[in-house]
Chain A
Amino acid sequence: MTLQIVVCVKAVPDPAQAGRIKIDPATRTLTRAQVPLAFNPLDRNALEAALQIREKSGARITVLSMGPSGAESIVRECLSLGADHGILLSDRAFAGADAYATAFTLARGIEKIGKYDLILCGMASSDGATEWVGPQIASFLGIPAATQVEELEQVDSQTLRVRSGMENGYRLMEIKLPALLTATRKLNRPRALSFSGIVKARKKQIVQWGLRDLGLAEDQVGQAASPTVVSAMTTRTARRQVEFIEGSIEEKAEILVQRLAQAGLI
């Protein structure tokens, strides 16, 4: 009995360049900077956890992503890192999905994959950063979830022991499979791509599923199925008038201490 693992990954705007997407103060809409897609950082930890489980006790790893056709490159990267199968959920109708609609569509994709024991997600995406998609997939599938996982250990073929982060501490839990976990940075150190991995992945096919393949209607996906909408945007203007403290670096330190002392702050 091989453990069936599904790793959900997201192609996000490259975090290093995401700052180029800004709200236009005049139109109050997003400026459409061309920012390349990147592998969401915490999803790397999710994939790494799956790869480590496979190395220890065997598993079949399917990577699942929802996104535009360009997201295929991220699924390909997962295959190069060692995932066995790659599936991209892509359809114009999926566009504009909020976390709820995204989780619903991904859950449908997982059901279509069929048998699954463990689903791994990054704790959050670097763009939306809500942390909602993982637990909501679990909710739609009716399986238990543990989020913010820092440590993970197999107890037996049906049970995992996980440590979830908490303020100034942690929770230690046993969770029965099938289950969903969301990975933090602490969980592991994701491996780097290898040349042989890239070569091997070239032969692997990435399956693409759209609305019909999932047996869904247009009003069940994307913006149409998203409970939340953006109703307004605004840019921030400077809130404070800065006083630059001038002088030699030593004088600057001296004057700052004086200012703070006068204000009763130190």
Chain B
Amino acid sequence: MTTKANCGPVWVVAEQVDGRIQNVSLQLVGKARQLADELNASVEVVLLGQGMKDVVEPLFAAGADRVYLGDDPVLNWYHAETYTEMIVSLALKIKPEILLIGSTCTGRELAPLVAARLKTGLTAHCIDLKINDRRILEQWVPAYGGLMSIICPERRPQMATVASGVFPLPDMDESRRGELVMLKAPEAVFDRIRTLDVVRREPETVALESASIVVAGGIGAGDEDGWGQISDLARILNAALGCTRPVVDAGWAGHETMIGQSGKMVSPELYLGIGLSGDLQHLIGVVGARVMAAVNKDARAPVFEQVDYGIVADCREFVPLLIEKIRAYRQSR
């Protein structure tokens, strides 16, 4: 037994979309459970939304001891000022040791607003979280071709954002129970920002974060035609199509398909990197792929240090042949 007194709880600010708890929130609850066990602390989740009472069970199953639920029509849509106010006032009372937020579009806005109000540090793009021997949270982030550990030694909570897919979904223990604490929406009206509408399109393609095959293309595609071939390959494999930053800059693909440090995190069974050099900013987004293969015309490209199968070839020649061979293989079965 540790002689040190328990510290404040490990918090996760969970996110719901249309009443569904997001995967990244469950992944973070799983990680919070590990950290809390090391600290001999509890795991608490803050969830804001409307009509959420019946959907909090997965948070307990993932490892939460307590869920603070704000359930009110004004909380239905994420609202920067209202959400910040509720989280900050509760945090000032409960004094969490650690506060984790998913690196989603709204999470990346909410987290710095909460951190500034709590006068504490916040680390972005974490790819690992560890408790060190001084019981401080090491927040590992990719930087300068390597990794950097950032700590917040004095102020609390220690805050970090983590993208979906960095940590696995925890084993769900359906028998686990916890305490549900209801929160009141603030009485003050926050009307400097008024949300008129939230529009979500059904994604047309396979979601990168949950795809079992990811085809990632780089600037080596050469031009839009070359990019089109890589898209065809992804379609034939029923894979999600991702890209590197230069591809976004070239305008061949949208930012939402970018894999890497400030983009999506993927953990597929198979990762195929085509015409990309293997910049760490990109490869850091490929976490826990089972098999990785890369095609690049330069045998010295750094990507070949990070994959299982390497093919030295011009992707504009190689991809059409690969598509042909995949079709032939499928027909032969």
A233 at the interface (CB under 8 A from B): yes
Looking at A67-75, A86-94, A164-172, the stretch in contact with chain B turns out to be A164-172
B92 at the interface (CB under 8 A from A): no
A263 at the interface (CB under 8 A from B): yes
Question: Across the interface, do B151 and A235 meet the contact criterion of CB distance under 8 Å?
Answer: no
How many A residues are at the interface, by size bracket? Answer: 35 or more
Which of B143, B202, B311 is A244 in contact with, Cβ under 8 Å?
B311
B16 at the interface (CB under 8 A from A): no
Question: Across the interface, do B144 and A23 meet the contact criterion of CB distance under 8 Å?
Answer: yes
- In angstroms, Cα B255 to Cα A84, docked, is 32
Which residues of chain A have C-beta atoms less than 8 A from B143's C-beta? 23, 233
Question: Across the interface, do B109 and A253 meet the contact criterion of CB distance under 8 Å?
Answer: no
A242 at the interface (CB under 8 A from B): yes
Question: Across the interface, do B105 and A167 meet the contact criterion of CB distance under 8 Å?
Answer: yes
Which residues of chain B have C-beta atoms less than 8 A from A131's C-beta? 108, 112, 124
Question: Across the interface, do B148 and A249 meet the contact criterion of CB distance under 8 Å?
Answer: no
A144 at the interface (CB under 8 A from B): yes
- In angstroms, Cα B4 to Cα A50, docked, is 54
**Residues 137-151 of chain A: 1 if any B CB is under 8 Å from the residue's CB, otherwise 0?**
011100111111000
Question: Across the interface, do B310 and A233 meet the contact criterion of CB distance under 8 Å?
Answer: no
**B residues within 8 Å of A by Cβ?**
77-78, 80-81, 104-106, 108-109, 111-113, 115-117, 119-125, 132, 138, 143-155, 191-203, 213, 237, 255-256, 261-262, 269-270, 279-280, 290-293, 299, 304-313, 317-318, 321-322, 324-326, 329
Question: Across the interface, do A234 and B147 meet the contact criterion of CB distance under 8 Å?
Answer: yes
- In angstroms, Cα B49 to Cα A190, docked, is 38
- In angstroms, Cα B149 to Cα A234, docked, is 8
Question: Across the interface, do B194 and A245 meet the contact criterion of CB distance under 8 Å?
Answer: no
| Minimum C-beta distance from A117 to chain B (A) | 13
A217 at the interface (CB under 8 A from B): no
A207 at the interface (CB under 8 A from B): no
Question: Across the interface, do A21 and B116 meet the contact criterion of CB distance under 8 Å?
Answer: no
Question: Across the interface, do B194 and A173 meet the contact criterion of CB distance under 8 Å?
Answer: yes
Which of A138, A231, A242, A250 is B308 in contact with, Cβ under 8 Å?
A242
Q: Chain A binding site: helix, strand, loop or mixed by DSSP? A: mixed
- In angstroms, Cα B313 to Cα A259, docked, is 17
Question: Across the interface, do A168 and B256 meet the contact criterion of CB distance under 8 Å?
Answer: yes
A sample of 18 cross-chain residue pairs with beta-carbon separation below 8 angstroms, ordered by A number, consists of: A21-B144, A23-B146, A100-B115, A103-B116, A132-B115, A134-B112, A135-B112, A136-B113, A139-B116, A168-B200, A168-B256, A169-B200, A184-B255, A234-B146, A235-B146, A242-B307, A260-B293, A266-B326
**Residues 204-241 of chain A: 1 if any B CB is under 8 Å from the residue's CB, otherwise 0?**
00000000000000000000001111111111101111
Which of A129, A135, A249, A258 is B124 in contact with, Cβ under 8 Å?
A129
Shortest Cβ distance from B270 into A: residue: A265
A124 at the interface (CB under 8 A from B): yes
Which of B117, B147, B326 is A257 in contact with, Cβ under 8 Å?
B326
| Minimum C-beta distance from B126 to chain A (A) | 11
| Minimum C-beta distance from A141 to chain B (A) | 10
Shortest Cβ distance from A177 into B: residue: B192
Which residues of chain B have C-beta atoms less than 8 A from A244's C-beta? 299, 304, 310-312
Question: Across the interface, do A136 and B115 meet the contact criterion of CB distance under 8 Å?
Answer: yes
**A residues within 8 Å of B by Cβ?**
19, 21-23, 30, 98-100, 103, 124, 129-132, 134-136, 138-140, 143-148, 161, 164-176, 179, 184-185, 226-236, 238-245, 249-250, 252-254, 256-261, 263, 265-266
Which of B199, B261, B318 is A129 in contact with, Cβ under 8 Å?
B261
Shortest Cβ distance from B200 into A: residue: A169
Interchain pairs with CB closer than 8 A, number = 230
Question: Across the interface, do B109 and A145 meet the contact criterion of CB distance under 8 Å?
Answer: yes
- In angstroms, Cα B193 to Cα A172, docked, is 10
- In angstroms, Cα B132 to Cα A185, docked, is 39
Which residues of chain B have C-beta atoms less than 8 A from A146's C-beta? 80, 109, 193
| Minimum C-beta distance from A127 to chain B (A) | 9
Shortest Cβ distance from A131 into B: residue: B108
- In angstroms, Cα B305 to Cα A43, docked, is 35
| Minimum C-beta distance from B71 to chain A (A) | 21
Known: A165-B105, A242-B304. A231 touches B144 (CB 8 A): no
Question: Across the interface, do A147 and B193 meet the contact criterion of CB distance under 8 Å?
Answer: no
Which residues of chain B have C-beta atoms less than 8 A from A132's C-beta? 111-112, 115, 122, 124
Question: Across the interface, do A253 and B321 meet the contact criterion of CB distance under 8 Å?
Answer: yes
Question: Across the interface, do B193 and A173 meet the contact criterion of CB distance under 8 Å?
Answer: yes
| Minimum C-beta distance from A79 to chain B (A) | 26
Known: A253-B325, A261-B329. A22 touches B145 (CB 8 A): yes
Which residues of chain A have C-beta atoms less than 8 A from B261's C-beta? 129
Interface centre among A138, A161, A228, A256, by most chain B C-beta atoms within 10 angstroms, is A228
Question: Across the interface, do B193 and A129 meet the contact criterion of CB distance under 8 Å?
Answer: no
| Minimum C-beta distance from A120 to chain B (A) | 16
Shortest Cβ distance from B81 into A: residue: A144
| Minimum C-beta distance from B95 to chain A (A) | 16
Which of B116, B145, B191 is A135 in contact with, Cβ under 8 Å?
B116
- In angstroms, Cα B202 to Cα A168, docked, is 7
Shortest Cβ distance from B154 into A: residue: A227
Question: Across the interface, do B115 and A169 meet the contact criterion of CB distance under 8 Å?
Answer: no
Which of B112, B122, B146, B291 is A228 in contact with, Cβ under 8 Å?
B122
Interface centre among A170, A179, A235, A256, by most chain B C-beta atoms within 10 angstroms, is A256
Question: Across the interface, do A139 and B112 meet the contact criterion of CB distance under 8 Å?
Answer: yes
Question: Across the interface, do A166 and B105 meet the contact criterion of CB distance under 8 Å?
Answer: yes
**In the complex, given contacts A19-B279, A169-B201, what are 16 additional A-B residue pairs having Cβ atoms less than 8 angstroms apart?**
A19-B145, A130-B125, A131-B112, A135-B116, A145-B113, A161-B196, A167-B200, A171-B199, A174-B194, A238-B305, A240-B308, A243-B308, A244-B304, A249-B317, A256-B311, A266-B270
